[in-house]
Structure 1
Amino acid sequence: MSRLGNIHYPVTDLATALAFYMSAFDLKPKFVDGQRYAALDAGGTTLALAGPEEDLTDGAVAASFKVDDVQTALDAIKAAGGSVVQPPTAGPHELRAVVSDPWGNTLIVYGPK
């Protein structure tokens, strides 16, 4: 089963971005990992601010789908007409891959290591 886990938002300065989104939109942090990554509660959706070290998409905003098994999800994506842009890699907290839908939109798929 898949679910929308977050919206991946690459930023060049995590501390400044975190301050902006907390101040401008009153978003509350759910998790902060130094200058790498911050998850903000955006009212039922997570806004994932990714610093340069955690930017998986070369600056593209991307929906991130949490799945039970990354390889199974990648097989289903390819069978449905999508493609793998970056194969699965182990991040600090999960296994993740970058994929593309048939229209070229970037997506992230992540799940347990």
Structure 2
Amino acid sequence: MKIGHLIVPAGDLDAQEAFYTGLGLTTRFRDGDRYAALTDGTVTIGLADASQQPVPGRVVLSIQVDDLDACLANVPGAVVETGPHERRAVLSDPAGNPVVLYERLPS
């Protein structure tokens, strides 16, 4: 288990990318105007337009796990979604903050 990334809503991806790289982060990759991944070498910030946000308008902590089903064994009603690169479940912590647990799919 590890913190995968923080997903930050991006209204103007160019401006936000410039802001974070100006602070010293490095752009790992960019997917057009939809998503940009920036890092300090340890933690990744994902700047996401509305189509890439698991919880629209909210900063989301994303945690990568080895076995999603095992992690969700004690979370009744958790819904797992499968995308092209991962299986994930969007949960809320006790304070209502969104958390994504995800498991990468084999390449």
Q: Do Structure 1 and Structure 2 share a fold, with TM-score over 0.5?
A: yes
RMSD, aligned α-carbons: 2.0
* Residues matched between the structures, number: 105
Mapping 1:33-112, distance limit 5 Å: 33-76=31-74, 78=75, 84=78, 87-112=79-104
Distance 1:71 1:3 in 2: 16
Distance 2:34 2:83 in 1: 11
Report how far residue 58 of structure 1 moved: 1.4
Distance 1:33 1:27 in 2: 17
* 2:72 aligned counterpart, secondary structure: helix
Identity, % of aligned pairs?
38
* 1:75 aligned counterpart, secondary structure: coil
Where do 4+ consecutive residues of structure 1 move more than 3 Å? Answer: none
C-alpha distance 100-36 of structure 1, shift in aligned 2 (>3 A): same
**What TM-score do the two structures reach when normalised by structure 1?**
0.78
**What TM-score do the two structures reach when normalised by structure 2?**
0.82
- State the one-letter code of the partner of 2:99: L
Query: Which residue of structure 2 aligns with residue 30 of structure 1?
Result: 28
* 1:98 aligned counterpart, secondary structure: strand
Instruction: Select the structure that is richer in helix.
Output: 1
Unpaired runs of 5+ residues, structure 1, are none
Residue 7 of structure 1 contacts residue 46 of structure 1 at CA under 8 Å; is this kept in 2? yes
C-alpha distance 36-96 of structure 1, shift in aligned 2 (>3 A): farther
